[in-house]
A and B are shown apart, each in its own frame.
Chain A
Amino acid sequence: MQEVKQRITILTSFLAIAAIAMLAAAIAASKTAGIVLTMVVAYIVFAVFLIGFVYRIIRWAISPVPFRIPTTCGQEKSLPWIKANPLECPFGNLGVIGRMAGEIFLFRSLFRNSKAELVNGRPVYGSSKWLWFFGLMFHVSLLLVILRHLRFFTEPVVPFVGALSSLDGFLEIGIPTLYMTDTALVAGLIFLFMRRVLVPQLRYLSLFTDYFALLLIASVAVTGISMRHFFPVDLNEIKTMTMGWVTFTPVVPGKTGILFYMHLCFVMVLIAWLPFSKLMHMGGIFLSPTRNMANNNRARRHVNPWNAPVRVRTYKEYEEEFREQMIEAGIPVESTGPGEAEKDKQD
């Protein structure tokens, strides 16, 4: 039952990819569709991405952070002779920046990952850094791959792209040179996907979007790598098209082939879908209140913009109820008779 459902989910995500690929093939076959895709849809996709992304950030930002709730992962700053941990438990902004940099560039929290297992009737916690390793590898590669693509969007090509590309391809395997980031990107994707499919617990909680997101990025990567290494396309035409985009003088590319249209369609789906998907974690991580706040709660007051009054029981009301008993027990009281509480309430 559950197995069948899971297989259907995985299958559906493959089918969705196949549908996009078929759509791309159809577009490649039709001149009109090609024009619409490259001259109109491209702009719509970019607008959706830009506006959608900013909208999501603003949407999050509008909701206030009523309380300062950092998760502390190290010693607080308290007495001067106790060594505080400025990164895992930052007291000031500098520490917060450091902590956030660690999270964003090094995936610090994921690096803590461990694996709990029951061995001989007791839980043991083994080190488990693979998710961190492949996750980081995947993300860094993806970033570098995107940066390398600037060669199609800038003229003259931004200088650092050349340096980056030669560094990336410094193994000089094959012609054109195999980029290490391409390999790492695919390796990362394979790990992340196989992990999701093979680990029963993970498969149990995975949704269609989880598989789809990985497959979509994989499709982008595979079509891209194919164009580079197996079915080369005329880059001149492609750059003419991309430069047409960024200079607002769109042109329809000449002969580029089905593979290129697939690459383009996968990228467009990815970009347009991103603001509405879990992939928004790339923006969201910056706003995470358990990470981006300093643990200086008791030293600097945090203000809650909607701090609403609640029903409280005043001391007067309390004493009113227990006065006799308090007097009897010899506990000091504010007044010896009733009636004060009523008066106080009006203040």
Chain B
Amino acid sequence: MKQNKWRIISLGIAIFIIGVTFPFWYGKGESPVPPALDLDTPEISLLTEKKCIEDTAFMRTKHMKLLKAWRDEAVREGERLYTAGDGRVFEKSLTGSCLGCHSNKERFCDRCHNYVGVAPTCYDCHIIPGEVKK
């Protein structure tokens, strides 16, 4: 009876500990290397000033917001031109503007998205230029 009680309690505690420490042993203690974003594309190498449409911090955290705004404005309201913070003008186009420079989706977009477990729906509709060629 008494042994039985501790068997069940230990089992419960074990399940609890295994559950909450799951991340510690799931990766077998190996430190993953944070994704390095590859900017080495032929298009970017041709640029004289290696600068995205907005600054890096903005692009890192808010690119999805920008793309959403572009989608709505371009597709629904027909406004196809975006004026950046520094006055440069770009076409509101994922495939044209973004992928025009970042032509390496797997090594740029996907690395980060996979790392933080994000599944953007962009490519549900958009085609990826590189993949079509293949």
Contacts and interface: CB of A to CB of B under 8 A. Distances in A.
Physical contact A–B (CB less than 8 Å): yes
Interface in A241-291: 243-244, 246-249, 255, 283, 286
Contacts of B68: 174-175
A64 B6 CA distance: 11
Contacts, number: 99
A111 interface: no
A161 B27 contact: no
A155 B27 CA distance: 6
A239 interface: yes
B101 to A, nearest CB: 19
Interface string B90-107: 000000000000000000
Interface string B51-95: 000000100111011011000000000000000000000000000
Contacts of B117: 151-152, 157, 161-162, 165
B25 to A, nearest CB: 9
Chain B, interface residues (CB within 8 Å), range: 35 or more
A56 to B, nearest CB: 11
A54 B21 CA distance: 13
Interface stretch (B12-20, B39-47, B126-134): B12-20
B16 to A, nearest CB: 7
B1 to A, nearest CB: 5
Contacts of A162: 117, 119
Contacts of B118: 176, 235
B61 A53 contact: no
Contact of B1 (A177, A248, A303): A303
Interface residues of A, number: 46
B75 to A, nearest CB: 14
B121 interface: yes
A49 B61 CA distance: 32
Contacts of B17: 50, 54
A258 B23 CA distance: 26
B32 A243 contact: yes
B98 to A, nearest CB: 14
Contacts of A286: 12
Given A57-B13, A158-B26, A162-B119, 19 more contacts: A54-B13, A57-B16, A61-B6, A151-B117, A154-B23, A155-B32, A157-B117, A165-B117, A174-B68, A175-B65, A176-B64, A232-B62, A232-B64, A232-B65, A233-B61, A236-B60, A238-B116, A247-B30, A248-B29
**10 nearest A-B residue pairs (beta carbon):** A151-B117, A153-B23, A155-B32, A235-B116, A157-B117, A175-B68, A246-B23, A232-B61, A247-B31, A61-B9
23 contacts: A50-B17, A54-B17, A57-B9, A58-B13, A151-B117, A165-B119, A175-B65, A175-B121, A176-B118, A236-B35, A236-B60, A236-B112, A236-B116, A239-B116, A240-B34, A243-B27, A243-B31, A243-B32, A248-B29, A249-B31, A283-B16, A286-B12, A303-B1
